[in-house]
Amino acid sequence: MGWYRRSKRVYETFRNVCSKLVTKNPSPASTPAVNSSCYCSFYNQYKTSGIFGSPSISAKFGNLSGLNQNQSSLLSGVTRRYFYVDRSQVYHFRPRGYYAYRRWFRDPRIVFLVVVVGSGAAITIYYGNLEVVPYTKRKHFVLLSRNMEKRIGEFQFNQMKNAFKGKILPALHPESIRVRLIAKDIIEALQRGLSHEHVWSEPSYAWEVDALFEQAEEEALKAFRKGLEETVPDKWKGDEGGLDDKWVKKSRKKAEKQGFKPATQHLEGLNWEVLVVDEPVVNAFCLPGGKIVVFTGLLRHFRTDPEIATVLGHEVGHAVARHSAEMLTKSMWLVLIELVLFQFITPDLVVAMSSLLLRLPFSRKMEIEADYIGLLLMASAGYDPRVAPKVYEKLGKVTGDSALRDYLSTHPSGKTRAQLLARAEVMEEALSIYRETIAGRGIEAFL
């Protein structure tokens, strides 16, 4: 046992010597462990649990004599750092960047809150931007604001004027005057059609004359349809490519039950302008904001005023229904869908299928909708709506119709448009408006 006592005495002597050395020169060993590579040396001068925000490290921890110059400057440059201290006096700093978001997604309560708030925001945006198209009463989602749509139309119109500088017919040119007068009639008819009440002017004819005129009008309509059916296949049912007026009937009935009001605020205060360009292009269009452009190539094929009124009424119908803004909104969603499908399917196949199944059918549907609105506008302006089917059939021959145009083009074939307008209920409504217009009574709020 003597050797054990001697060893214990030597060990106690060595421990006493070491304790005296530690008392004279404090060692950083007493510093609590810090869970960060940048802040590896802290002292026990600040031992409080919980989460704190420190405006200055040096103000909280005093003189950091155990750090070198680079580490001290690094700590002094940090103004706020959030951390907490556990029971083992270990400093845990809150993660930043990607790791912080990853912790959020691990918490089911945060995920549930994000889903609820995101869904509520999406529903609010969707229903807050739903609008009702005049006449057809179709609801559509338009994310583009009215002011932005107007600015886009004005910007494109200025670009058109710069691009066709030197080819724009002067204001006193006979063709410019003619197109401007027809457009004026269409715009005035639009203003009447967007009134909120049915207002009738004083009748200028007796009822007996009206009855005779109505009977003659019905006989003329029957003769017109009979003549058109001779050039149309008997098997046509009006549903090729989904083009028929069944959806119009459904949407109008639904709007009547629920009391939907058409959106017309985008047509208020427009500065309508007409531009005739000397180009052999068989085309015309109406930009958002009331900017109408007509090419002389169209005027060479359609010489009568009712024919030009048919085309202008159709183009103004696009502006009435906000088709440009609607197409931009749908293109945004289609692009997002395509980006997702690109991860699984060949990009060329995705683009082809989205165009064939989504973009083109919707574009053809908008063209039919513009035909309906334009037919009512030209009838209210005093132009015979029975001319419209012949115009579209002639337009199809000029531009080159094909059997696949009802499926592979943005516009339906001219023959399909002529057949649909002749058989749709909108023709009867247009003839009723036309009859009252030429009899001296103007119908309002027909859209």
Backbone angles phi, psi at 439, to 5 degrees: -85, 0
Contact 366, 411 (CB under 8 A): no
- The rounded distance, in Å, linking the Cα atoms of 189 and 199 is 13
Structure tokens at 359: 């973009």
Q: What is the DSSP string of 320-374?
A: HHTHHHHHHHHHHHHHHHHHHHTTTS-HHHHHHHHIIIIIHHHHHHHHHHHHHHH
Nearest to 219 by CA among 207, 209, 227, 208: 227
4-to-8, 10, 11, 15 alpha-carbon distances in Å: 6, 10, 11, 17
Structure tokens at 113: 């809150």
Nearest to 189 by CA among 287, 64, 350, 320: 320
Residue 315 catalytic? yes
Task: Catalytic residue, from 131, 315, 367, 369: name it.
Answer: 315
- The rounded distance, in Å, linking the Cα atoms of 393 and 131 is 32
- The rounded distance, in Å, linking the Cα atoms of 295 and 302 is 11
Question: Is the Cα torsion angle 292, 296, 298, 300 positive or negative in sign?
Answer: positive
Helix (H) or strand (E) holding 291: strand 291-295
Q: What is the SS3 assignment for 52-116? A: EECCCHHHHHCCCCCCCHHHHHHHHCCCCCEEEECCCCCEEECCCCHHHHHHHHHCHHHHHHHHH
Cα-Cα end-to-end distance for the chain: 116
Contact 249, 425 (CB under 8 A): yes
Catalytic positions, written as ranges = 315
